[in-house]
Structure formats: structure tokens, C-alpha cells
Amino acid sequence: MKKRAPDLSAQIASSIRDAIVDGRLIVDERLPSEAELSAEFEVSRSTVREALKRLGAQSLIRTERGATGGAFVNHLRYEDAYAQHVTTSTLLLSMNSVHFATAAEARFALEAACVPLSAARRTPDHLATMRAEIHRQSQPGLSDEGFCASDVAFHRALVDGAGNPVLSYQLAGAVEAMQPLMNMITFTARSRSEIVSLHSRIADALDARDASAADATLSELASYTVTLGQTMFAKARSG
Amino acid sequence: MKKRAPDLSAQIASSIRDAIVDGRLIVDERLPSEAELSAEFEVSRSTVREALKRLGAQSLIRTERGATGGAFVNHLRYEDAYAQHVTTSTLLLSMNSVHFATAAEARFALEAACVPLSAARRTPDHLATMRAEIHRQSQPGLSDEGFCASDVAFHRALVDGAGNPVLSYQLAGAVEAMQPLMNMITFTARSRSEIVSLHSRIADALDARDASAADATLSELASYTVTLGQTMFAKARSG
DNA sequence: AGACTTTTAAATGTCTGACAAATGAAAAAG
DNA sequence: CTTTTTCATTTGTCAGACATTTAAAAGTCT
């Protein structure tokens, strides 16, 4: 039950991380140089460097070389957080062998939360993106991976239509992390056209700012997706 | 516009990360030792170590010392991902100076997505947690921080009631990252009792498995929270 | 004086070699 | 066969050196 003391580099990373999280170090502020930090913490420069690499991996700091270089508190941007969130979510799903139904339920529940906002606020740009993806999805030559990627892009446009970046960020994990699971479903021509049709109806409803129609169609899409997943897994068991 | 080549340690980290993400390295598999990796990548051991620290910071690997030690592909657990997600979300909100209204909108929209599922699946345990937190929130001596922490615990129970771990994970960022913003609102005795009353009604509705009543009350709570926030910020501007 | 070039100092990035500490496995002792 | 000791392996830490990058300072020419 005893937790051994973590490595020095981990301790130092924690110490600096705390300073950043509760605001004692502010964005773009420069940390002391590696030499100064090693004196301050009374460790070697290598140990300090390992601590800084840890923080860099979490996008908490960035480093610049040269005379005026050093480690700076990083301004965490949506894109960085977004990418990390997707990677982590994807691994979480695959490593914990989450059932397809569970992941799909979460994804569609969260997406449904965006629909009323998106119906109210979507711009022509969002609608154009959705239409473009729908068009791509109906191309016969499209690979399965391409279809799934386009599916993700369609749903991201739906989510972004809500005009709330916090919502978009949180949804990223749910929607994008599903892609590998979705890829496992080999879409038939028939199921593709069904999905394209549902996508079109969702886009139409959002175009008309009809939140309840969009919500109802999204529910249809959710059930259909879960059904497809069940069929696929049943076939995998029997085959 | 030119992107300089990233550091060697970053390149090596990427290379190993890719191997983990697309499954060429599986959970609990042992990576080559630092000496072997340094030979393989033709860099020094320090460089390899910095790469490994980066991966460790993302919970992708863990390291063990000793004869049979080494770096192992880590089984990413919900708790690890959860903690990271909360830290990142919190920083994202503070560093991008997200408006209270935007964050609150995202939070309540996502929570609303859980309500129907939670009404259907919540266990007595979830209800007991909610009641306990409501009781704590009505104690007069409770600090503002304590009240907010209890608020988070209440809402987490609501989300967990949906019985979907993926949903709980995704919601963690939205709910917990709000806490520092919520802490900024100094609750009066009057607003606390209003919130406690709304929490009670939500718990009652979930107890009765009445999803629409729970949803309606959550909407009330959302409006009330946003109103409190607006009042607070108006006062901050004038004062 | 002003514009251009060179030098220099500071900082991170990388390498080498060494030793400490942890830990399981093999060898030795009983 | 069990216990103890030794040992080899591996990560953790340290010290010192050199390479590379960068901006500022110093120098040079017009």
C-alpha cells in the first residue's frame, strides 16, 4: 500500500505544474533557465530537463533556443488541447474495450445536446460544410476510411454550429475517438445511402432551424448506427 | 512559415507514440531498455530518456526500476485520463478567458444530455450521494469552496447515474473545469438555498424516474446560474 | 550618423561516462 | 528444499563537455 516517492524529475514537474495551474506563473512568462532551476532545486541539469520535457508533453510550457530563449508558460490553445483530448479518448476506448453500443450512446447523447444550439446559431458556412461532406459520402468510389472521416467532419460541423468552443472541444473526444470503432463497421452500399439520407435530413432541419426535427433524425441515426454495430458484431461472433 | 525539425527526443517520442496508438505496441508490452533504444535510434541515452519522460507525462508508458524493469505500455485507466482531462480543461478555460456564460452553457447542455439516461438507470447509490451532497450544501458553516466542491460532487453523481463511463469521462472536463469559475461567484445565503432547492427537485425527479421534470429543473438551474454570474460580473464592473 | 557585418554571450540540445539504487534471478549455503 | 547471498540488469541521478541557435552588442564601412 506504500506509494514510493516519485522521481525527482516528476516532483519538480509537479511543483512547476502547480505554479502554472494556480496562476503563480502566468502565460508567456519565462521560467528560470535550466541552470538556475538546477541550482534552485539542487538537482542536476539533466533532471531539470526531464521535468521540463514532461511539462512540454502536456503543452504546459514551450521552449525556445538561443540567447533570449528558455522555457515559457504556454498559452494552451484549443487545437493543442483538442488533439490531446482525441488521442487520449481514442486510447481509452481501445484499451478498456468499450462496447460499441456504450461509445455510440455517449456520442449521440452529447451530440443531441448540441442540436438545439446549432439549430439556432449555425451559419451558412456550417451548412455548406455539411452539404459538402454529404456529397463526398455519396461518391461510390470512397473508401471506408474516407467515408468515416467524412462522417466525422459532418458531425464536427454540426457541433461547431452551436458556436460554443467549449462545447466543440468537449465533443471532440466523443466524436473523433469513435472513428476507429466506426471503421470496424464495413459499410455496405445500402447502409451508406441510408446514412447519407439521414445526414441530409439533419442538414435540412438545421437549415430550417427546426431543432426538434433535427433531434428526431439524429435519434434515428443513433438507433441505425447501433443496429449496424450489433449486426456487425453478431456476424463476427458467428463467422 | 518554416517549421524547424523538432528535437530528437520529440521525434523519438512521436515514433513510439505512433507505435502505441496504432497498436504495434500493446498494453503491458515492455519497450527495449534505454540502452537498446539509444542504439536503435542512434542517439544518446539522455535523449531517449527525455523522449520516455514525454510519453510518461501522457500516461502512455510507465517505468519500473530493477532487473526486470523498463518502460511498459501503460493501460490507460479512466482515472488517469479523467485527471488529465480536468487539468487541461481548467487551463483551457482560464487561459482563453472564456466567458462564464459560454462555459455554463456548455456544461448544462452536456449535463442535460445525461438526464434521460440517468433517470432510467440511476441506482440508489447515486441518489444517496446526491441527497448527502444536498445535505452538506445546506449546512450554514460551509465555505464557498466547500459549497462548490459539493456542487461538483452532486453533478458528478447525476452524470454517473447514466451508467455510461464514456459519458462520465467526457463530462468530467465540462463539470469540474467550471469549478474555479464557480468559485468566483460568492454565493449569498439566499442563492445557496435556491440552488439547494433546485438540487432537491432534480434528485426527486430522478428518484421518480421523471426525465422531463429533471430536465426542466436543470434548465431552471442553468438560467439561475447564468443570472448569478451576470449579476456578479456586473457588480465587478461597477465596483 | 546610419546601415551592414562580425563577434559574443546566453540558452537549449546532445553526447559521454560514471555511479547510485532498485529488483528479480541465479548461485550458494544450510 | 528453503533460505540467504551474490550478481546482473535496468532505471535514476550527476558532472562535464561540446554543438547549435539566437539576439544583442561591438565593430566597420559608407
**Contact A50/B55, CB-based, under 8 Å?**
no
DSSP state at residue B123: -
- Alpha-carbon distance of A158 to A202, in angstroms, equals 9
pLDDT at B204: 97
What does the pLDDT average to over B24-34? Answer: 96
- The whole-number Å distance from A192's CA to D30's C1' is 74
Which grid coordinates are listed for B79? Answer: 482515472
Beta strand extents in A81-187 (DSSP E only): none
Q: What pLDDT sits at residue B1?
A: 45
Per-window interface: A 33-62 vs B, CB < 8 A? 46, 49-51, 53-58, 60
Which pLDDT tens digit goes with each residue over B98-156?
A: 888 899 999 999 999 999 999 999 999 999 999 999 999 999 888 888 888 999 999 99
Contact residues for B17 (Cβ-Cβ < 8 A; gap 6+):
B55, B58, B60
> What's the rounded Cα separation, in Å, for the pair B20 and B61?
9
Segments in chain A below pLDDT 50: 1-2, 239
The predicted structure's pLDDT at residue B25: 96
Q: Which of B50, B93, B106 sits opposite A164 (nearest CB)?
A: B106
Strands (DSSP E) found in B115-236: none
Instruction: List phi, psi (to 5°) of B184.
Output: -70, -20
- Could you say which DSSP state residue B30 is in? B
- C-alpha distances (whole Å) from B164 to each of B21, B122, B169 are 24, 11, 9
Could you tell me whether strands A70-73 and A61-64 are parallel, antiparallel, or unpaired per DSSP bridges?
Answer: antiparallel
Per-residue pLDDT, B236: 64
Instruction: Summarize the confidence of residues B157-180 as an average pLDDT.
Output: 90
Beta strands in A97-204 (DSSP E): none
Residue nearest to nucleotide D7 (CA to C1'): B67
Q: Report pLDDT for B186.
A: 62
Confidence of residue B172 (pLDDT cuts 50, 70, 90): confident
* Chain A residues with CB-CB distance to B45 below 8 A: none
Percentage of residues of chain B with pLDDT beyond 90: 69
CB contact under 8 A, B85 and A90: no
Q: How far apart are the first and last CA of chain A?
A: 46
Q: Per-residue pLDDT tens for A116-154?
A: 999 999 999 999 999 999 999 999 888 888 888 999 999
Residue of B nearest to A114 (CA): B109
How far does B191 lie from chain A, in Å, by closest CA? 26
- pLDDT tens column, B69-97: 999 999 999 988 998 999 999 999 989 88
Alpha-carbon distance B194 to B199, whole Å?
9
- Check CB contact of B166 with chain A, cutoff 8 Å: yes
Report all structural domains of chain A as residue ranges with CATH numbers, in order of start.
Answer: 8-73 (1.10.10.10), 78-238 (1.20.120.530)
